[in-house]
Structure 1
Amino acid sequence: MRLLFLGDVVGRPGRSVVARVLPALRSAWQLDCVVVNGENAAGGFGITEAICDDLLGAGADVVTLGNHSFDQREALVFIERQPRLLRPVNFPAGTPGRGATIIEARNGARVLVANVMGRLFMDPLDDPFAVIARTIDECPLGEGCDAILVDMHAEATSEKQALAHFLDGRVSVVVGTHTHVPTADVRLLPGGTAYQSDAGMCGDYQSILGMHPDESIRRFVEKTPGSRLEAAGGEGTLAGLAVEIDDATGLAVKAAAVRIGPHLAEARPAFWEEARA
């Protein structure tokens, strides 16, 4: 199975590059499953129903969120009727929406997608390790599903790596989101789980984490109240993680970074590009 994960979509540049590039990638790479983190898609803060529909229409099978899940208040309502939109599974009981879902990939495989949020330097939610373990125990790899992807939305790389090793061999992919900077540690863990500390963002990299630099710099320099942060408006770059999963075991056999667009060195999975040539 071929799975593509795209990091945090930030503002209009992120939405535009996903809309422009993802449909072609689904065809060229014959992707079976695509998961996109959309928690910053609405001007950098949350997601709207129209934007969620656009991401799904561009080729995403599931949209995950994070600490900005409900910055757009309409998300409190529409998340209940959109089973392919996930907020972190360790949000408090009674929070609208769901933190995990099973979808049927284009090759017929059952894919469990789970969204979980870290606690280091983040809101003090339920223990992500205990909650994600229960989620997987309810739908184990090879029994309840054929592949499992976990979007670990967290600040600390240590917490992301700890969760990945905690789940190694029990899930297909653990990929980090939230910090908006693609890390150079794409690898397969000893048990067969694909991992990257942060997939990066789909957005304008001539920015500060996808936001216009001026106000961000002013906050560091002056330390006084100012204006609202606004998403940068330049050309977006697509960033994410490509994973090939063994249909027999549900574990990863190949993984590579994806970067398509300006400002960053381009990266494409050679194992799919060469097969297409």
Structure 2
Amino acid sequence: MKILFLGDVVGRAGRAAISGQLAKLRADWGLDFVVVNGENASSGMGLTAEHAKLLLDAGADCITLGDHAFDQKDMLRFIDTEPRIIRPLNYAKEAPGRGARLFSDARGRKILVAQVLGQVFMKRPFDDPFSAVDAVLRKHPLGGLAQAALVDMHCEATSEKMAMGHWCDGRASVVVGTHTHVPTADAMVLPGGTAYMTDAGMCGDYHSVIGMDKAEPMRRFITGMGKERFTPANGEATLSGLYTETDDRTGKARLCVPVRVGGRLIPARPV
């Protein structure tokens, strides 16, 4: 199975890049399944129903969220009507929606998508992400009903993301980190056959401070005082993420390649 994961979509620039480029990538690379993290797609904070529909219409098979999952209040209602949107497993027991779901690609092959929030350096406490993921992977073992499984680990600490990768090694096809918006250079297949990357980066304008217009973040760093709210940068966006090919029989990753398309980052693409 050819799987593309795209990192956090930030604002109008990120949405435009998805709308303008994803359909062509699906065709050119023969993609079977596309997962997009959309939690910053609406004004840089959360995801509206309207923008969720835009990402799905552009070619995403599944949208994952994050700690800003319900910053846009209409998502509280919309998520229960749209099964292709996944919120974190350990967000809150009362939260609407689901944190994991089994999907089918066009050929009927099953792929599990799950998302979990980390605990280290996060603004609010969340339940243990490792036990949450463990329960889901035990229920959907590779080589059984699921031909592939992808885990989106949404958190600050690189060490916590790495620990999740090793915890899932051999049990998930892909473990990829999101949230920090900066792509890491460590894409690899772990010894047990799990494709791993600490952070997929963002789909947004990199002439910015993690996707936000740089003036206000710089003011706060330099003066210690805020003047305005953060707003997404609206220059040309780069699509950033991870491309993985898996074995249908075992669910293990054969290869993984970091993806950089358009914008300001050095391009990278599957050969």
Q: TM-score range by the shorter chain?
A: over 0.9
The answer for the alignment partner of 1:273 in structure 2 is none
Query: Could you tell me whether the CA contact under 8 Å between 2:7 and 2:202 is conserved in 1?
Result: yes
CA drift of 1:221 comes to 1.5
Deviations 1:125-144 (A, max 9, x none): 01000011011112222223
Tell me which amino acid in the other structure corresponds to 1:152.
Answer: M
Match of residue 10 from structure 1: 10
What corresponds to 2:165 in structure 1? 164
User: What are the within-5 Å matches in structure 2 for residues 111-150 of structure 1?
Assistant: 111-122=111-122, 123-150=124-151
The corresponding residue for 2:45 is 45
Gaps of at least 5 residues in structure 2 are none
- Equivalent AA in structure 2 for residue 157 of structure 1: T
Q: Secondary structure at the match of 1:80?
A: coil
Aligned to 1:109: 109
* Aligned partner of residue 79 in structure 2, secondary structure: helix
Aligned counterpart, 1:260: 261
Between the two proteins, the alignment pairs up a number of residues equal to 270
Tell me the distance in 2 between the aligned counterparts of 1:244 and 1:146: 12
Relative to the length of structure 1, the TM-score reads 0.96
C-alpha displacement at 1:47, in angstroms?
A: 0.3
Map 1:90-101 → 2, pairs under 5 A: 90-101=90-101
Deviation digits for residues 106-150 of structure 1, max 9, x if unmatched? Answer: 232100000101000012101000011011112222223111000
Residue in structure 1 matched with residue 212 of structure 2 by the alignment: 211
**1:77-92 aligned within 5 A:** 77-92=77-92
Which structure 1 segments of 5+ residues have no match? Answer: 271-277
* Residue identity opposite 2:36 in structure 1: V
1:72 aligned partner, one-letter code: Q
- Aligned 8 A contact 2:38 2:52 in 1: yes
Counterpart in 1 of 2:251? 250
Alignment of 1:58-69 (within 5 A): 58-69=58-69
Secondary structure at 1:257 match in 2: strand
Partner Cα separation in structure 2 for residue 168 and residue 201 of structure 1:
24
Which 4+ residue blocks in structure 1 deviate beyond 4 angstroms?
A: none
- TM-fit CA distance, 1:262: 2.2
Once the 2 structures are TM-superposed, how far is the Cα of residue 105 of structure 1 from its aligned partner?
Answer: 1.0
Question: Which amino acid letter does the alignment assign opposite residue 85 of structure 1?
Answer: I
Q: 1:206 to 1:225 in 2, by over 3 A?
A: closer
- Tell me by how many angstroms 1:225 deviates: 3.6
SS state at 2:69 partner: coil
Deviations 1:4-58 (A, max 9, x none): 0000000011000111110001111111000000000001000010110111111
Q: RMSD in angstroms over aligned alpha carbons?
A: 0.8
> Secondary structure at 2:27's aligned position in 1?
helix
Q: Distance in 2 between matches of 1:225 and 1:11?
A: 21
Match of 2:195 in 1: 194
For residues 233-258 of structure 1, the C-alpha deviation after alignment (integer angstroms, 9 at most, x for no partner) is 10111111000001111110010000
Preserved CA contact (<8 Å) 2:212 2:230: yes
Residues of 2 paired with 1:154 and 1:103: CA distance?
24
> What is the deviation of 1:72?
0.5
Aligned-pair identity in percent equals 54
> Distance in 1 between the 2:2 and 2:163 partners?
25
- 1:241 aligns to what SS in structure 2? strand
Contact 2:219-2:226 within 8 A present in 1 as well: no
* Offset at residue 98 of structure 1 (A): 0.7
CA displacement 1:171-194 (0-9 Å, x = unmatched): 100000001011000000000000
| SS at 2:101 equivalent | strand
